[in-house]
Amino acid sequence: MAFSFFNKRDKSEPVPDQPTQQSAPQSEQPPENSGFFDRMKQAVTRTRDSFSESISSVIALTREVDESTLLDLEPVLLAADLGAPTTALVLENLRQRALRTGIQGGAELKQLLKSELKQILDSVAYPITHPATPPEVIMMVGVNGTGKTTTTGKLAHLFATGPNPRTVLLCAADTFRAAAIEQLEVWASRSNTPIIKTKQGGDPSAALYDACTAAKARGTQTLIVDTAGRLHTKSDLMKELDKMRRTAERLIPGAPHQTLLVMDATTGQNGLIQARLFTEAAHVTGIVLTKLDGTAKGGIVLAIATELKLPVVYAGIGEKIEDLIPFDSSAFIDSLLD
Ligand SMILES: Nc1nc2c(ncn2[C@@H]2O[C@H](COP(=O)(O)OP(=O)(O)OP(=O)(O)O)[C@@H](O)[C@H]2O)c(=O)[nH]1
Ligand SMILES: [Mg+2]
């Protein structure tokens, strides 16, 4: 039976927006007055086109927010790939909110939805700091073809050209796939970054040992390590990741400071299942979500927060070197719904 949420608001109840907690590293914070928002908006065009339109039609029909409104909202959230658990959480929070204070029409429903979504993202965000004593070591990990090597190159460019430029060294620790080292060399030259490598078939931990030693000797601020694509089920390859972590730790206390799982946004809920198993095995600290430009299912960002309890730290929005942006929850939600 439909029931009305058209109650009076308790004035003591706080109105929507929560304080923003940025998830981007300090040196790469999106400048407020730049084209950052436009780039985020451009990146989520496909998600926005379907999501925003469907939400608008629910909102346009909403005079009184009741159970049937929430039922209409459910397929819209699922279609954007928020996933069943996150969709259920959002709807339950809206229901509770409506029961407590009422939701007065479509416009207010939209504000509350934005607030709910942003709260989900901010609950897992943390400010990323660089270690006081360099070098910082960042490992890029993930299953095959998600965009690890491309992101390594883009990240080197972002660090080197950001408002607080950092010196970067790349380590080619994918010795497994043919031409992987050459591929990273192309990115090293595009981003004008030095690279440490070994031969194909060589020991990735040996390459990492050399890279850590070189980064220390040169006073490099950030060492980014490109690793081979692997499935969490390949236990020998997962052990290899462990060995790399131990090698870095032995040479640089606290390393690896970040382990970024690179996820392909176009793989949707399947990618999420793989990611869950991967994060458990590989001490992942944050997510890089690539190919956001190529999907209408950008709502996966919210499923990542709820189900992996990890923030998306960077988003890949194209194939060019500058197509990587620090993820910002406010810009993301506003881009989707404004
Ligand atoms: N559109 C788009 N394409 C991307 C993005 N990031 C990576 N790609 C493309 O994805 C493909 C795979 O990228 P790689 O960087 O080789 O992926 P990888 O994870 O290193 O692959 P393996 O080393 O084989 O596991 C390439 O064609 C990239 O151009 C992105 O943000 N947007
Ligand atoms: Mg690669």
The average pLDDT across 112-129 equals 93
What residue owns the CA closest to ligand 1's atom 7? 147
CA 264 to ligand 2 center in whole angstroms: 13
CA 143 to ligand 1 center in whole angstroms: 11
pLDDT at 330: 94
Strands 222-227 and 195-196, bridge-based pairing: unpaired
Which ligand is nearest to the Cα of residue 184, counting in written order? 2
C-beta of 295 in contact with ligand 1 (< 6 A) = no
Q: Which of 42, 150, 231 for mutating ligand 1's site (highest number of atoms within 8 Å of CB)?
A: 150
Residues 60-63: contacts with CB under 8 Å, at least 24 apart: 60/106, 61/106, 62/105, 62/106, 62/109, 63/105, 63/106
pLDDT at 206: 97
Structure confidence by residue, pLDDT tens digits, 135-168: 999 999 999 999 999 999 999 999 999 888 999 9
pLDDT at 29: 55
CA 111 to ligand 1 center in whole angstroms: 35
Whether residue 46 is predicted with pLDDT greater than 50 in this model: the reply is: yes
Encoded amino acid at 100, one letter: R
Which ligand 1 atom sits closest to the C-alpha of 226? 20
Which ligand 1 atom sits closest to the C-alpha of 228? 23
Whether residue 107 is predicted with pLDDT greater than 90 in this model: the reply is: no
CA 121 to ligand 1 center in whole angstroms: 25
Question: Could you tell me which residues come within 8 angstroms of residue 195 by beta carbon, excluding any fewer than 6 positions away?
Answer: 169, 170, 171, 172, 184, 185, 188
Between 201 and 29, the higher pLDDT residue: 201
Comparing 34-38, 76-80, 84-88, 96-100, the range with the smallest average pLDDT is 34-38
Dihedral angle computed from the Cα positions of residues 239, 134, 288 and 88, in that order, rounded to the nearest 10 degrees: 90
What residue owns the CA closest to ligand 1's atom 6? 147
CA 227 to ligand 2 center in whole angstroms: 7
CA 51 to ligand 2 center in whole angstroms: 32
What residue owns the CA closest to ligand 1's atom 14? 147
Quote the pTM value: 0.89
| Residue of 4, 111, 113 lying closest to 66 (CA atoms) | 4
Dihedral angle computed from the Cα positions of residues 278, 220, 151 and 38, in that order, rounded to the nearest 10 degrees: 120
What residue owns the CA closest to ligand 1's atom 17? 147
pLDDT at 234: 85
Structure confidence by residue, pLDDT tens digits, 175-203: 999 899 999 999 999 999 999 999 999 99
pLDDT at 11: 33
Which ligand is nearest to the Cα of residue 146, counting in written order? 1
Whether residue 30 is predicted with pLDDT greater than 70 in this model: the reply is: no
Total length of the chain: 338
Q: Is 123 in contact with 145 (CB distance < 8 Å)?
A: no
C-beta of 280 in contact with ligand 1 (< 6 A) = no
Between 177 and 32, the higher pLDDT residue: 177
Which ligand 1 atom sits closest to the C-alpha of 144? 25
